[in-house]
Structures are given as structure tokens and as C-alpha cells.
Amino acid sequence: MIIVTRSTISESELDHIRERVEALGLRTHLSRGEHRTIIGCIGDEALLEGISLRSMPGVESVMAVLKPYKLASRDFAAEKTVVNAGFGAIFGGDAITVIAGPCSVENRQMLEMTSAAVRSAGASMLRGGAFKPRSSPYSFQGLGLEALKMLADVRRSVGLPVVTEVLDTRHVDLVAEHADMLQVGARNMQNFALLSELGRVQRPVLLKRGMSATVKELLMAAEYIMAHGNPNVVLCERGIRTFETATRNTLDISAIPVLKRETHLPVLVDPSHAGGDADLVAPLSFAAIAAGADGLIIEVHPDPEHALSDGDQSLPLDSFSTLMRQLEPFAVAAGRKLRLPVAARDSTGSQSTPAMTTTATL
């Protein structure tokens, strides 16, 4: 259930409403917007039948939320959520944000070369796998802690914030220590223990849709993270498994406007994993921006032919630079602009502290 308050509500009236609801055993979630404030009531709504919420001072309307996801629902938020991962890597709002980098961190030289190139081309965040979940136990599994340290070093030297995948609840604190955003891969989208643990840390989370997951299941996964205390979730459509074999996965373009209708959370698209072919990355990127995506995450490698993982879908450095130039007119046509990277270090050379969540007017 959500309680929509009047624009003239006072802080004391707001506190009174929350105290009455919480006294009945429910939790409240406050979402402040520029023009209105919404109080979300989380728990057994039958407990509210004994009080008249509509008659309380400051209340404009009361509505039931029938969707199983509450905190992730667009109804539950006064405005769109904008997630700030630090260093100017902002997801949501009026600009398109691009994340780029190698599938796996292979060595420092490759990582430094790639990060410098993608930043120069306009990417706002660096991706790179430290722990790699692979279908075959004999495939390259990533460099682990060594890769995390490389990512942190390159972040300081090049000036790009970092996102990398976390696979295990035991690694959450370790990855959070070295990265600015933690990624949940498609295979872990319904790893509820991991999602719950990520709700505990104050780092933004990039949540990828499972290859066989519905939109509802994706939003319920986001709900797990948010219900455990972390509102900074960015959703990612990366293609789903269908009968089609011409591409690695099938990019569900329709999921983008559906998610924008259903949730206030930012929505990214991964055209690399969707198509599985470097030649498909550009057209899928254009389609994603046209459909309303808030950003892209793209695999880039200086020598895709010799990449240790996902070389077929990785763009060479020059091709990524070309793609970034081509994206601009699509962003403009969609009423957006491309977000460019900003200086990432303060005068001492240390990482700036990210503001975790801000909002933009609907």
C-alpha cells in the first residue's frame, strides 16, 4: 500500500503517519519528490484495516499496490531513481551512460590500454571480470584478487570508476573494497543469499536479467536487494534464451519500455552478450537507446582474437570509438544526450566519495 501526501504536509504530520503505520507492525519507506512525497507501507496490509489512513492530516490518497515487488515498483517512488557510482558515473536522468572494458582482466598492460582507450572515447565506467563464471570448468576463471587490485590501480591512474562481478557471498566485502559498483551476473540473478548480502553493502549493484527470467522475476530479484537496505540498483537486459541460434541470446527490446513503465530504477542494455558477435553490437546498441535504455555495457578488448574470454563479441578499440560517435544522434533522437566521463580524482589523488542515490523529476 502507498500513501500519497499533500504538497503542504508538515514534518510532524509525516512523522505521525509513519508512527501509526509502524505501530501496527509494518515498515515504512519514504520517497521524497520535488512535488510530492510517497510513504510505502511494507508488510501485512490487513493490519491497516483498523485505521482510516485517508482521514489523517496531510494524506491526499491511499492506494493498494497489487504487484509483488513493492520497493522496485514505479508506484512506490515519487520520482525516477538516479544511481551515482562516483566519478560522474551516473545512471538514469537525462543522459546515456556507457560502461566499457574487457570481459576478463588478463594482465595490467591490457587493462591499462583498454581503460585509457574507452575513457578517451567517452565511456564513463570501466568493466572487467575478476571472477568469471564459465560454462566449462576448464575455461579461464579469472585472476581473482589479483585482478581486483589491478582494477583499483587503473581506476586511480586512468580516472574511471569500476564495475566487476561478484559470485559468492564470501567475496562481497572484498569486491566492494576494490570496485565502485558490484555486478550480479545472469546466472546469479536468483541467488537470493547473494542478493540479500548485497543489500547490506552501500555500493550500487548492476543486476543482470537471467537468461530464462521474466521481467517480473528480474524485478523481484531487485526487490531482494532493496528490501535488505540497498536502494541503489541498476537493471540490465542482456538477452534471453530462445529457440533462435543465429545469436548468442535474443535481445528483448520490449523489456526496456516495459521496465521503464514498471519501475523507477535505471535500465541498461548489454548488446555484447545479447548478440554474441562484435558485428551486432552497434545495431543492438542503437536499438536499445531508441527503446529508452539509460545506458549500455559493452565488451572491448585491444586484441579480441587473442582474448581469454568472449573475444567474438568484443569490440576492438577503434571500433568502440566509432560506435561512441555513432550513438550520439540516436541519443538526441530519443531526447537524451551522452554522458561523458569527468575528472575522477581529487587533489590528493584519492577516490571521491560517491553520492549513492539522487533523483530526477519525472
- Asked, for residue 75, whether it belongs to a domain, the answer is no
- The values of phi and psi at residue 331, to 5°, are -65, -45
Same domain, yes or no: 177 and 294: yes
Do 16 and 125 belong to one domain? no
Q: Give the 3-state secondary structure of residue 6.
A: coil
Local confidence band at 141 (pLDDT 50, 70, 90 cut-offs): low
55 located within any domain: yes
Residue 50's pLDDT is 76
Does residue 70 sit within a domain?
no
Question: Structural domain of residue 311, as residue ranges?
Answer: 80-357
Q: How far is it, in rounded angstroms, from Cα 61 to Cα 47?
A: 18
Distance in angstroms (rounded) separating the CA atoms of residues 9 and 145:
50
Q: Could you tell me if 52 and 157 lie in one domain?
A: no
Type of residue at 328: E
What pLDDT, on a 0 to 100 scale, did the predictor assign at position 354? 43
Q: Which one-letter DSSP state was computed for residue 351?
A: B
| Claim to verify: residue 132 and residue 29 sit in the same structural domain | no
- Both 57 and 103 in one domain: the answer is no
Instruction: Kindly tell me if the per-residue pLDDT of 152 is higher than 70.
Output: yes
Instruction: State mean pLDDT over 242-246.
Output: 95
Are 125 and 266 in a shared domain?
yes
Whether residues 50 and 91 fall in one domain: no
Computed on alpha carbons and rounded to an integer, the radius of gyration of the chain in Å comes to 21
- Give the CATH number of the domain where residue 59 resides: 3.30.70.1140
- Same domain for 94 and 187, yes or no, is yes
Asked if 197 and 130 sit in the same domain, the reply is yes
Look at strands 2-5 and 37-42 and give their pairing. antiparallel
Q: What does the alpha-carbon distance between residue 224 and residue 192 come to, in Å, rounded to a whole number?
A: 7
Residue 49 sits in the same domain as residue 176: no
When pLDDT is averaged across residues 158-177 and rounded to a whole number, the result is 95
| CB 198 within 8 Å of CB 214 | no
1-16 per-position pLDDT tens digit: 899 999 899 999 999 9
In degrees to the nearest 10, what's the CA dihedral of 12, 18, 24, 29? -170
Co-location of 51 and 119 in the same domain: no
pLDDT tier for residue 207 given thresholds of 50, 70 and 90: very high
pLDDT at residue 121 tops 90: yes
How far apart CA 219 and CA 193 sit, in angstroms, is 16
**Helix, strand, coil percent values for the chain (each to nearest 5):** 40, 20, 40
Whether residue 74 is contained in a domain is answered as no
With a pLDDT cut of 90, the percent of the chain lying above it is 75
Q: Indicate whether 226 and 341 sit together in one domain.
A: yes
Whether 255 and 215 have beta carbons less than 8 Å apart is answered as yes
Domain total of the chain: 2
